[in-house]
Structure 1
Amino acid sequence: MTHDLLVMDEVSTRYGRGPLALDAVTLKVRAGETVGLVGESGSGKSTLARLALGLLTPDSGTVRFDGHDPYRLRGRAGRRIRARLQFVPQQPRGSLNPALRAGEAVAFALRVHGTPRAERPERVADLFRKVGLDPDLAHRHPQQLSGGQVQRVAVARALATGPELIVCDEPTSALDTTVQARILDLLGELQERLGLAYLFISHDLAVVRRLAHRVVVLRAGRVVEENTTAALWHAPRDPYTRALLAADGDSPEPPAPARTDRPAPVGEPSAP
């Protein structure tokens, strides 16, 4: 039986004296599954991602990863827990140091988590192959790579620590449709091969529909609906969910293919 990896229980937080950014949000991500988090801009999606990663502390409620608060653990125990929880950003080019080659960015993650120096070059090459990149691209700087290639480097960097859960914050929004599809195929294949779980944040319902097993709908900092992907598209319960589907051009019908009934796509996509 799969177990809960990430558990956010009645989490609330606000910025300064303003209104609540998140209001009593409860969310779970189980081992090996993808939970899609959708909502319009300003709904609190990125704030929730920051809480999940321990970059923010909730004003109330709890955040646990595999039963632990990873950012209250210190020393080796804290590093071991944090290595199991990683992040793929919306704008990977901005998250990579332009002075470092792509391989050096991945090697830095390996160094932080204790991989011996002698082992890093082969580990970097293996990670590049795992995300569908030619290892020779490790010698290029981010500005010499395409958008799809840079996103693959970001995925390789996230994989460097052997994570069990990856928070993906709009990871395909800056890519064109063809490259976006390849990145989604890559994430699905990695999930099947490595048993990864994803918290996948997006405003694009078509993307979430393709990848997620379950979907959480966020509006103004509150969860208004949660269901399996197939059930949510077939019979959305909340008017806000129905409005999102209508605005995205989706009718309430089961997704094809239904990710809740079959494993992630198989096959290593080629680099863009």
Structure 2
Amino acid sequence: MTPSTTASGSTPLLQVDKVTKNFRGRPALQEVSLAVAAGETLGLVGESGSGKSTLARLALGLLAPDAGTVRFAGQDPYRLRGRTGRSLRARLQFVPQHPRGSLNPALRAGEAVAFALRLHGTPRRERPEAVAALFRQVGLEPGLARRFPRELSGGQLQRVAVARALATGPDLVVCDEPTSALDRTVQARLLDLLTGLQESTGVAYLFISHDLAVVRHLAHRVLVLRRGRVLEEGPAAELWEAPAHPYTRALLEAATGGPATP
């Protein structure tokens, strides 16, 4: 299966076409294709080891595929260098699974966001107010910018990671299991935040998760990955109501605690 068009049929912002990636002779991805349009959320679902994180790194330009192509805004993010590369990467950002590990413990939360603003070219004098505005945008009190990562809760840290990703005004944010370390209540709040940000800014998401229930509440479309291959792809509501593949049904049963519709 090689999905290559978006739900709206518009030109994709991110286009991954028949990508293959091997590590030490073992396939991590095998001819995987996907497309994400501006303002759209594509949910990427699969168990641990399915190739989700490898696909995320390819989409971000951190890895090169062994075969196939990756295009963001029509360009290969892995091969771009210099000013053009920096400009493109500003439009393509990342929210990690464990923000505590991705934030420098010696920097205050606001300093981490300000660093992203500096890379984006925001003048020094404008950064404090820009940091405060970003904190408010993700539902954090600006005063929390003065705290170190160790002084913040998991939910607050994840919001700081979202603020840092938004600092460059991205068109697409890759979210790699951003809710997996959070309890259900905090998960729901983060998903509501991401939905609201998409409505207000038009940002697109490639949202990666092992939990189909989490993805259902955010994604317009869902792609199911197993052992490096695409098993199924379609609108989130349709996959939830009538999954076609047994593996998707198993994921749905795990998410709901009951049998899925055959």
When normalised by structure 1's length, the TM-score is 0.90
8 Å contact kept, 1:233–1:251: no
Does residue 242 of structure 2 align to residue 235 of structure 1? yes
Decide which of 79, 83, 86 is 1:76's aligned counterpart: 83
Aligned residue among 203, 226, 236 for 2:233? 226
Match of 2:146 among 129, 136, 139: 139
Residue 165 in structure 1 maps to residue 180 in structure 2: no
Q: Deviations over 1:70-117 (max 9, x none)?
A: 232222211111100000000001100000000000000111121111
CA pair 205-250 structure 1, distance change in 2 beyond 3 A: farther
Which amino acid in structure 2 is aligned with residue 229 of structure 1? A
> Which of these residues, 17, 20, 31, is aligned with residue 12 of structure 1?
20
Q: Report the counterpart of residue 216 of structure 1 in structure 2.
A: 223
The answer to whether residue 141 in structure 2 is matched with residue 127 in structure 1 is no
Q: Tell me if the contact between 1:9 and 1:63 (Cα under 8 Å) persists in the aligned partners.
A: yes
1:85 and 1:250 mapped to 2: Cα distance? Answer: 37
> 1-side partners of 2:185 and 2:251: how far apart?
24
Report the equivalent of 1:245: 252
Inter-partner Cα distance in structure 1 for 2:60 and 2:163: 18
Question: Do 2:63 and 2:78's aligned partners in 1 also have CA atoms closer than 8 Å?
Answer: no
1:47 matches 2:73: no
CA distance in 2, matches of 1:3, 1:126: 32
Residue 211 of structure 1: SS of its match in structure 2? coil
Q: 2-side partners of 1:82 and 1:23: how far apart?
A: 26
Deviation at 1:213, TM superposition (A): 0.5
Q: Distance in 1 between matches of 2:251 and 2:111?
A: 41
Instruction: Please give the alpha-carbon distance, in whole angstroms, between the structure 2 residues aligned to 1:209 and 1:215.
Output: 8
Distance in 2 of aligned mates of 1:172 and 1:236: 23
Q: What TM-score does the superposition give when structure 2 sets the normalisation length?
A: 0.93
Give 2:30's aligned amino acid.
D
- Rounded Cα–Cα distance in structure 2 between residues aligned with 1:235 and 1:182: 27
Percent identity over the alignment is 73
Structure 1 counterpart of 2:106, from 99, 102, 114? 99
Cα offset, 1:252, TM superposition: 4.2
Give the whole-Å Cα distance in 2 for the aligned partners of 1:75 and 1:233.
Answer: 43
- Measured on the aligned residues, the alpha-carbon RMSD in Å equals 1.2
Q: 1:176 aligns with which of 183, 195, 205?
A: 183
Please say if residues 12 and 36 of structure 2, whose CA atoms lie closer than 8 Å, have aligned partners that are also in contact.
yes
For residue 184 of structure 1, report the CA deviation from its aligned partner.
0.5
Q: Post-superposition shift, 1:29?
A: 0.7
Q: Contact 1:131/1:152 (CA < 8 Å) preserved in 2?
A: yes
Partner of 2:37: 30
Partner-residue secondary structure (3-state), 2:61: coil
**Cα drift, residue 183 of structure 1:** 0.5
Question: Which residue of structure 2 lines up, in the alignment, with residue 3 of structure 1?
Answer: 11
1:34-77 alpha-carbon deviations (Å, 9 max, x no partner): 10011111110111111111111100000000111123222221
What runs of 5+ residues in structure 2 fail to find an aligned partner?
1-7
2: CA distance, partners of 1:128 / 1:82: 22
Rounded to whole Å, the distance in 2 between the matches of 1:33 and 1:175 is 24
Contact kept, 8 Å, 2:108 with 2:147, in 1: the verdict is yes
Segment of structure 1 superposing worse, 163-172 or 74-83: 74-83
Tell me the SS of whatever aligns to 1:4.
coil
CA shift at 1:241, angstroms? 1.1
